[in-house]
A and B are shown apart, each in its own frame.
Chain A
Amino acid sequence: MSLLITGATLADGTRGDLYVADGRLADPASAPAGVERIDADGLLALPGLVDLHTHLRQPGREDAETVASGTAAAARGGYTCVHAMANTNPVTDTAEAAEYIHSLGGSDGHCEVRVVGAVTKGLAGEELAELGLMHASAAGVTVFSDDGRCVDDSLLMRRALSYVKAFDGVVAQHSQDPRLAGPGACCHESEWSGRLGLPGWPAQAESVIVARDVQLAELTDSRVHVCHVSTAESVDVVRWAKKRGIKVTAEATPHHLLLDTPLVAGYDTTFKVNPPLRTSEHLAAVREALADGTIDIVGTDHAPHARQDKDHPFDVALPGMLGLEQALAVVIDVMVNSGRMDWPTLVERMSHAPARIGKVAGQGRPLAVGEPANLVLVDPSARATVDRDASRSRARNNPYHGLDLPDPVVATIWNGRVTYQR
């Protein structure tokens, strides 16, 4: 198909037409008369967003999300690529499992699905998964993560970092010291955990692992990616490591940019997430770090759950919240509308940088002739009240329900195909 997008504004402020033909951007002057058009007057055209941190729940928990429903939500949120985390059932820890998800992405995906492989077999944290075979498979796995669990064994983490160097892989770490923040820890350790009687998860349970990992990355001269940075202390460590030239990249989630600890005061399990929602001083540090580049990317940690897994007591309910559909809205509101960040920086954090970290060819590219047609049309001024029931996700654990937020995505185009249009 072909499509002429007229009068769009690019992130850098320049205006022009974009012609999509055969999955790529072509010279608008070559568009035939009568070609299908989208009037993009007043809209921004940005490279399609890339999420390095998505839980699609297939295989295993298709009642919570599938590749089809999760990528439909991604398209609704302006994403043209997501990275499917490995903590499915079975775990993505073999080439065969990785190829299965890769093929599901090909058949059911409303965006590109890149596969994240487990670092350790069964996410058990004991022995390395078949990292090289997953990389060499059709899935071409580059990002490895036990996300949901921390690779807490220092020696194993060192080996993983060292091993993936052979194919320039990256280990994406869920930083949580399992002793300082045990399995029951479900609330940021603070005045709130004390009052509510909820087991606390201190900020330092994250930063001690980040501090260890950046030093192991230095030791091995390998790449480490810090998932969902949620604390001021972790930000300080990453800033220090970058100054030293260590190959570390870091991620912030939309919820750690916007939502804070007091939201758990009513014990609404929608707000249970791991790492937990932090207090305002941590939010401020994460925002500042995302603006100055200490934190490289926004990763959604989109974590759909079936209702029955949330209808338990707070300490028992599964942690996690949706993110794909509102991530851009949150970043626009918290970072751009507040003046912390300009549009080119938003594009860097949500498209270019995650594509670079995951080494995804054809994503996160500039909107230039000859490039793959992966883009999102954005109305920067539209707002709406979030309705969890209007979601394309199968799950309803949307923490933004009822909030007035930007409603930016007008259309998403993946490889020249319209995957979402308002």
Chain B
Amino acid sequence: MRHLLSAADLTLAEATSILDVAAEMADVQRRPVKKLPTLRGRTIVNIFFEDSTRTRTSFEIAGKWLSADTINVSAKGSSVSKGESLRDTMLTLDAMGVDCFVIRHASSGAADQVASWVRAQVVNAGDGQHEHPTQALLDAYAMRAHFRKIGSTDTSGGFAGKKIAIVGDLLHSRVVRSNVLLQRTLGGEVTLVAPPTLLPTGVETWGCPVTSDFDEALADADIVMMLRVQRERMAGGFFPTEREYAEAYGLTEERLAALKPGAAICHPGPMNRGVEISSAAADAANSLVLEQVAAGVAVRMSVLYHLLGSNEGAMK
């Protein structure tokens, strides 16, 4: 595989290999000297047209621990406001001999477009409301680790038959699209929960049950993944008040108590405590939020390794 643009690009073998290698990378992280020589001499440019401290930092650390030369370019607002097209911006950097772009952009499809223009390999670090494949991979990593911890011995990953409820602003979420596509490959059974105003058009064709009844979906979920509700959605009139939203779609203390034994909580962050997730749920023993963040570095190391680790790209 030349690029990672969509979670749908991954076969089961590729996705499993990324998770397995990520586990090895996580072991390395526990050593005093964390650096591996794998990508020595390779140049990775993290180009972020949209702010994201956690994703950018996580990719930067991942590249550095693999000994790649990692350069961060904050390009927020640069392109259009200076009159330069996205294509010109990317071709300029590409001409400097970059091996890989890690790109974050507020516009859906930006990573696909860039991949069609440049010579370098491209990792999509989030494009608009479209996809965020490495987030779905790190979510899967954290979930798999949780399943194993509570006793799963399924070597293929343990997703088969597991029920994953994804709750919240599905309409504007790139995280949900990548998770649905990745779980289609891994075998998890996703249920989507949102008020009708925050459901993407055509969601009924995504191959997962869709409901506006969180309590029903909660009852048999193995994983409850809460999505961030952005404050600006309020202005869009998608729901009346934060209070009403939290009541119907928030992981409240009551709903936390209603989770079935062994169920765990995910959130891609940053969290709006008191809106989509209560502090009790965010800080609960079965919350995987920090495991997700920790998994971010290992999974991104693994992705970079799979894409750049051999001359041809290990995932061909």
Contacts and interface: CB of A to CB of B under 8 A. Distances in A.
B80 interface: yes
A315 B108 contact: yes
B130 A312 contact: no
Interface string A179-203: 0000000000111111111111000
A193 B79 CA distance: 25
A200 to B, nearest CB: 6
A309 B83 CA distance: 9
Contact of B109 (A191, A198, A200): A198
B128 A315 contact: yes
16 contacts: A190-B201, A190-B202, A191-B202, A193-B200, A193-B201, A195-B206, A197-B127, A197-B128, A197-B174, A197-B177, A198-B129, A267-B108, A267-B110, A269-B113, A308-B88, A312-B87
Q: State the 3 A-B residue pairs at the shortest beta-carbon distance, nearest first.
A: A191-B202, A267-B109, A313-B107
Contacts of B116: 266
Contacts, number: 75
A313 B86 contact: yes
A267 B131 CA distance: 13
Nearest to B174: A197
A311 interface: yes
Interface in B183-204: 200-203
Interface of B: 79-80, 85-88, 105-110, 112-113, 116, 127-131, 174, 177, 200-203, 205-206
Most chain A CB inside 10 Å of its own CB: which residue of B110, B128, B201: B201
B103 to A, nearest CB: 11
Contacts of B112: 266-267
B130 A313 contact: no
Contacts of A267: 108-110, 112-113
A124 interface: no
Contacts of B113: 267, 269, 313-314
A198 B131 CA distance: 11
Given A195-B177, A311-B86, 10 more contacts: A194-B201, A195-B202, A196-B109, A197-B174, A197-B177, A198-B108, A313-B108, A313-B110, A314-B109, A316-B107
B279 to A, nearest CB: 31
A190 B201 CA distance: 5
B109 A313 contact: yes
A194 B171 CA distance: 7
Contacts of B200: 193-195
Contacts of B110: 267, 313
Contacts of A195: 177, 200, 202, 206
B47 to A, nearest CB: 13
Contacts of B106: 313
A315 B130 contact: no
A200 B201 contact: yes
A311 B88 contact: yes
A311 B87 contact: yes
